[in-house]
Structures are given as C-alpha cells and as structure tokens.
C-alpha cells in the first residue's frame, strides 16, 4: 500500500509541476498533500469509524457488519431481503449468512412473502430493537466527538460536497442501486 501512495504522491507532484498548467487544474485537486484521493480518504475514515463502533458493539458481542442490517431495519422497518441488502450495500448472497446469524440470535425474523413464496421479508424482533436503542446513543456520541473542532459552516460545505459526489457517481452508475 505504501508503494501505491508513494506512486500517487509522485504523480501528484508531477501533475502540479506541469509547465503552463494553473494551480486550479482539476488533476491537482484529485490528491491531497500525501497523495491520497477522495475515495482513499473515505475508505480510511470509514474503517476508523467501524473500528470505534466495533468497540461499542463488542459490549453486545455484535459484529459491525451485522449492525448495518439492524440500523437499516430500525430506520426503515420491515424490508424484503433484496431491498435490505441493497440498502446495506452488500450482495444479497452475502446477506443470507448474516441474516441467519441475526435470526439465530433472536434479533430479526424472516417472514415469507404471501404473494411470492421465493421472497422473504426481514423485520427486527424486540431484542433487536432493544439492542439498537441501547447502542445507537453511544455510537452517535462517538460520531459527534469525531467532529470536534469542525465548524457548522465547514459541515455544511462538507455535506454539500458529499451530496454532489454521490449525485455524480449515481448518474455514472446507471444501475439499480438504492440510495439511502
């Protein structure tokens, strides 16, 4: 990985040093001063959030991957497995073992769709609701603490930029991904 960042940093330096190019050239905005791109930083920040959230979820012996299913169900209510998978951002085949585990723990239940017996709906059980209700405030506090030192104005700019990136990528994707 260091080699990739090193290569990216070198490319950034070369791009910024092109003769006749202005400092506002779009390529110069693709990398930070360490050669990292927006997707790289988003991944890094996401992994750091996951690591901090996992410390909280360890109190309930719950993997971060399972937390995403519980959060979506708590927010959206009952969903079919395919819709739930899309909202969590996981392939539907990967969702099956996760849902098996959550069902075995008594956190969710799957109910067959009466109109199409091949489909299942997933809903939170009382224990799943309790777990989300207990864990969400602490996770929210952790996220809030991560924003210390950032002004409200900076956050408005951040959200504007992130929403524009999401819109741009959504327009490029042309598939049926679900936006949450």
Torsion sign over Cα 77, 80, 81, 86 = negative
The whole-number pLDDT of residue 21 equals: 45
| Three-state SS at 135 | helix
Positions of the chain with pLDDT under 50: 1-3, 5, 8-9, 11-13, 15-22
Contacts of 133 (CB under 8 A, 6+ apart): none
**Model pTM?**
0.76
pLDDT at site 147: 97
SS3 109: strand
Give the residue among 41, 40, 45, 36 at the shortest CA–CA distance from 143: 45
Q: Which residues pair with 79 in a beta bridge?
A: 122
- Residue-wise pLDDT for 102-118, tens only, equals 999 999 999 988 888 88
**Both tokens of residue 153?**
């104005």
């Amino acid at each position: 990985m260091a080699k990739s960042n090193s290569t990216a940093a070198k490319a950034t330096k070369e791009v910024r040093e092109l003769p006749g190019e202005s400092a506002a050239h779009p390529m110069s905005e693709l990398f930070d001063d360490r050669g990292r791109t927006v997707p790289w930083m988003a991944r890094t920040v996401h992994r750091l959030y996951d690591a901090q959230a996992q410390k909280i979820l360890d109190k309930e012996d719950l993997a971060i991957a399972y937390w995403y299913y519980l959060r979506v169900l708590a927010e959206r209510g009952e969903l079919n497995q395919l819709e739930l998978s899309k909202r969590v951002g996981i392939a539907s085949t990967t969702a099956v073992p996760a849902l098996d585990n959550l069902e075995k723990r008594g956190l969710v239940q799957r109910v067959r769709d009466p109109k199409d017996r091949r489909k299942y709906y997933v809903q939170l059980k009382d224990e799943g609701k309790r777990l989300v209700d207990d864990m969400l405030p602490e996770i929210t506090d952790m996220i809030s603490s991560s924003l210390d030192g950032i002004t409200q104005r900076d956050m408005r700019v951040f959200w504007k930029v992130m929403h524009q990136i999401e819109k741009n990528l959504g327009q490029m994707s042309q598939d049926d991904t679900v936006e949450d």
